[in-house]
């Protein structure tokens, strides 16, 4: 478990590397790397990359590896003292089409102790862009970027609803002590870089995926 400040410091560089890897991937697969969304507020709301059709993609830098980790770690929200995030739990419930009470009564495990989430007054909703972007990509930001998971919005939001009802973990892994997270199944759309080339490592063949991405994004 690490502090919020240390968590932000360690993740800053990873996100830049991951976005660069993702842009390279899309340039290779569909001929367009997307436009970087630079405004902090817009980035928080809709994600990191915008494509010609107007759809956006959120990019998360994380040490993913389908051979080592059978599930994917998703940060859902963070308890904060910032008044900007008053009522955040209500916003999160709306994004997930759940009730506040459902989330408040969900269990959370922290340092071996299980309790209920409750209704914290200030919550920064980490999944805001996940729930609004057309796709969310998780990119391995080490070793030059070896793995990419690509979730459609419907896929990952569906996984989140199921996982949240099973319970949160708090301060797990390298997240900070105020982060609530869940574990979800790996994306159906996955690629691994081998010998400098991206090859499918998920459940869906490229001939079923790439035309769809081209039609939706370009």
- For 42-78, the pLDDT digits (tens) are 999 999 999 999 999 999 998 899 989 999 999 999 9
- For 31-52, the pLDDT digits (tens) are 999 999 999 999 999 999 999 9
What phi and psi, each to the nearest 5 degrees, are found at residue 184?
-125, 160
Note the pTM of the prediction, 2 decimals: 0.90
pLDDT at 87 over 90: no
Considering its fold, how many domains does the chain have in total?
1
Residue 6: its pLDDT value, please? 47
CB contact at 8 A, 151 and 189? yes
Domain that holds residue 148: 4-217
State the Cα–Cα distance between residues 22 and 216, nearest whole angstrom: 17
CB contact at 8 A, 24 and 33? yes
Residues 6+ apart with CB under 8 A from 67: none
- For 127-165, the pLDDT digits (tens) are 999 999 999 999 997 766 789 999 999 999 999 999 999
CB contact at 8 A, 143 and 65? no
State the Cα–Cα distance between residues 115 and 103, nearest whole angstrom: 12
């Amino acid at each position: 478990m690490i502090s919020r400040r240390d968590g932000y410091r360690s993740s800053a560089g990873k996100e830049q590397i991951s976005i660069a890897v993702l842009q390279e991937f899309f340039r290779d697969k569909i001929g367009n790397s997307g436009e970087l969304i630079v405004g902090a507020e817009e980035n928080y709301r809709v994600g990191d990359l915008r494509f010609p059709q107007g759809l956006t993609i959120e990019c998360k830098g994380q040490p993913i590896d389908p051979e080592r980790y059978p599930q994917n770690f998703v940060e859902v929200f963070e308890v904060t003292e910032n008044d900007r995030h008053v009522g955040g739990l209500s916003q999160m419930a709306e994004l997930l089409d759940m009730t506040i009470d459902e989330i408040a009564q969900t269990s959370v495990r922290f340092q071996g102790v299980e309790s209920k989430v409750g209704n914290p007054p200030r919550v920064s909703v980490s999944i805001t862009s996940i729930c609004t972007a057309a796709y969310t990509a998780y990119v391995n930001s080490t070793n030059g970027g070896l793995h990419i998971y690509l979730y459609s919005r419907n896929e990952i939001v569906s996984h989140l609803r199921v996982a949240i009802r099973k319970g949160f973990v708090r301060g797990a892994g390298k997240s900070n002590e105020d982060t609530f997270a869940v574990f979800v199944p790996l994306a159906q759309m996955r690629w691994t870089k081998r010998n400098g080339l991206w090859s499918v490592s998920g459940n869906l063949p490229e001939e079923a995926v790439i035309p769809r991405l081209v039609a939706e994004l370009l």
